[in-house]
Amino acid sequence: MGSGSRQKGSLLTASEKEHCYGNPFRQDRAGRWDGNGADRGETAHPNESEACSPGGREGGRLAGRPAEGLGGPHPPTHPPTHPRPSPARRATKPRFLGQPVRVLRGLLFARPDAAGMDVSKATKFFVSTGRRILTIGFALLILSILAWAYITGIQLVSDQYHIMAFGLYGAFLTFHLIIQSFFAFLEHKRMRRDSLSCSYTKTVALTISAYQEDPAYLRECLQSVKATLYPPDKLRIIMVVDGNSSEDRYMMDMFQDVFAGEDVGTFIWENNYHHQPQLDMEKRDSGYQTGDEPSDYTEIDMEDPGQLVVEELIRTKRCVCIMQKWGGKREVMYTAFKALGNSVDYVQVCDSDTKLEPEATVELVKVLESNESYGAVGGDVRILNLSDSYISFMSSLRYWMAFNIERACQSYFNCVSCISGPLGLYRNDLLQQFLESWYNQKFLGTHCTFGDDRHLTNRMLSIGYATKYTARSRCYSETPSLFLRWLAQQTRWTKSYFREWLYNALWWHRHHLWMTYESVVSGIFPFFVTATVLRLFYGGNLWDVLWVLLCVQLVACVKALYACWLRSNPVMLFMSLYAVLYMGGLLPAKYFAILTMNKSSWGTSGRKKMVGNYMPLLPVSIWGLLLLGGLIYTIYQEALADWTTEAKQTEILYLLAGLAIYLGYWTFMVLLYWVWIQKCCRKRMDFYSLEV
């Protein structure tokens, strides 16, 4: 519902509640952050005091804020001023300040009794500005070092003829992998050491987003949700189906079948929160609209009866399934979040192809309960169908690396960049603050339709709260098993990555410098890899081409061996084979994603449909032709060279040895994969993910 309308059961509008409770994260119409809020302990505005006092608006019945964020009026328990949060929450909340002009004006024309407050504002403003400058300077320093090391090509170690060399840029990347792995190890050690407890008093809404899901995956998802080990009176289950046609009805029927005997509510909504054609027509006929320009969504005065039914069901029933007009995943997530309002403490997100472990929810709750500064936490996502194909098997290994090394390292510094959609938990009171801005996200004037999870995480980071990862919470999700569908998925994810990279850069100064450092390194890495590959392939030297392939494979082997040790599972050795997928598919897809970043098409397709869009193959084809052209050019140049010199004779030995090592390694690994995975372990791999 809009900020100016009253929610059902509420005594004040959302804007009036903001007056009473204070909101340190609100924005003015110009998009500037307003620093006025109760968390700094400032005196309430006279109008706000009147509205929240026992004799003010609505008799002061909402002067006291509910202790746990649940609905219902509470009697006032404090003087008629802004309520102050707990010391723990107050100490960790971010401080936002006004504009420089406002601060200086306050210093010059302040009343004597407000002088201390204005000095504090000025101090905080200059501290914030200083952090911004420091962060920007640090980012430029890292970028400059990387660019200098790459351009100069300083060699640290080389042989007599400079055939084999190890440069400064390679040393920097090696150092990055070492420290990333080290901090990931420390985070895992801390997870094992810390024994967190759960109070089982927090209410949780487990939301499931569904779209044309494979019936087998959907049933597994719903059955795993039903088996969740969390008090039933504290857990709500909400599934929103993106589509309300007869073809989508099987998902609601399955929901009713799985949760038979529970407190179930279902409803087929003809519209959704942002598509209400009949009501829009009534508004237009009544002369309500005054402009031709489309604007962001705001709640209309004449409420949709279906909307009221949806909100009533979600707030009163334990298990609810809603089918609504198609609008994309973000629309589905918005429906669940909006209808919940402030009725629960935490909101858990889950996809309809995800199978949760019974303890997944409680482990997430433990993390958020352990520290008030944690705004969201994600769990370990494994692959459910890893034995389907080489693509799905490689994805399962890549997922483990991404979560248990990369995100575990980020979690050590409290700045996980993405809480994955299959398994994540958010503080609901914080989520409700940026719900509208999250939904109405635009990039270059186009409404964003994917990257929902990453932007939700970025919104949490933008208000200064930490994001965490825990390997104790685990789920298993479906992944594409065909190359084309995998490529489309990676292209979509890359679009949202670079778009959110730009947004995330605005908030680097509010978090640890590691977030700045890693963002710069990971953001620039694909471009340096591309430049290196093209330079060597067109350099006219066959050994350079073979050398870059050997180096890529060597780095992949080192990471795979470390993962084998960390996971205590030799299957991670196959992670070294992922390099060919990255170089041959993912790398060119990144450039295609950048060029089409503002295109909202080519999104997710339902798992019941085959992928019919072959556009993602275009960049792979162009990339392959570029590499083939470089290889042909290099062979031609080498054919013209004098191979009788001592240096060239030595290079021949290097070529033969390097080629034998490279081809021998790949032959051995492919045979091992085929025999061990495809033949011996195929049946065991169907339930492999449940035992690791």
DSSP assignments along 260-316, one per residue: TTS-EEEEE-SSBTTB-HHHHHHHHHTT----SS-------SS--HHHHHHHHHHHH
Answer whether 566's CB lies under 8 Å from 186's CB: no
Distance CA 431, CA 570 (A): 41
Contacts 24+ apart (CB under 8 A), 575-581: 575/397, 575/398, 575/401, 576/669, 577/394, 577/666, 577/669, 577/670, 577/673, 578/394, 578/397, 578/398, 579/552, 579/553, 579/555, 581/391, 581/394
What pLDDT score was predicted for residue 689? Answer: 43
In this prediction, residues 519-540 reach a mean pLDDT of 90
In this prediction, residues 436-452 reach a mean pLDDT of 90
And the tokens for 543? 């050994």
Query: Is residue 331 over pLDDT 90?
Result: yes
Q: Which of 154, 101, 149, 190 is nearest to 469 (CA)?
A: 190
Distance CA 52, CA 56 (A): 6
How many other C-beta atoms lie within 10 A of the C-beta of residue 222? Answer: 24
Of residues 354 and 91, more confidently modeled: 354
Assign 3-state DSSP to the chain and report helix, strand, coil percentages, each to 5: 55, 10, 30
Of residues 115 and 571, more confidently modeled: 571
The tens digit of pLDDT for each residue in 639-675 reads: 888 888 888 888 888 899 999 999 999 999 988 888 8
In this prediction, residues 434-453 reach a mean pLDDT of 90
Of residues 603 and 406, more confidently modeled: 406
Q: Which of 610, 686, 608 is nearest to 214 (CA)?
A: 608
In this prediction, residues 226-254 reach a mean pLDDT of 96
- Residues 6+ away with beta carbon under 8 Å from 658: 543, 546, 547, 550
Distance CA 144, CA 690 (A): 45
Q: pLDDT above 90 covers what percent of the chain?
A: 50
The tens digit of pLDDT for each residue in 302-328 reads: 578 899 999 999 999 999 999 999 999
- pLDDT band of residue 158 (cuts 50, 70, 90) is low
Largest Cα separation within the chain, whole Å, is 100
Query: Is residue 247 over pLDDT 90?
Result: yes
- pLDDT band of residue 82 (cuts 50, 70, 90) is very low
What pLDDT score was predicted for residue 154? Answer: 77
Which sign does the torsion angle of CA 95, 27, 410, 208 carry?
Answer: positive
* 3-class state of residue 239 by DSSP: strand
Distance CA 33, CA 280 (A): 32
What pLDDT score was predicted for residue 222? Answer: 97
HSE, side-chain direction, 13 A CA sphere, residue 358? 3
What pLDDT score was predicted for residue 612? Answer: 59
341: left (phi over 0), alpha (psi -120 to 50) or beta: left
Tell me the whole-structure pTM to 2 decimals. 0.78
399: left (phi over 0), alpha (psi -120 to 50) or beta: alpha
What pLDDT score was predicted for residue 523? Answer: 93
Distance CA 463, CA 434 (A): 9
- Residues 6+ away with beta carbon under 8 Å from 260: none
* 343-347, 625-629, 671-675: range with lowest mean pLDDT: 671-675
The tens digit of pLDDT for each residue in 571-617 reads: 899 999 998 889 889 999 999 999 888 876 545 555 555 555 678 88
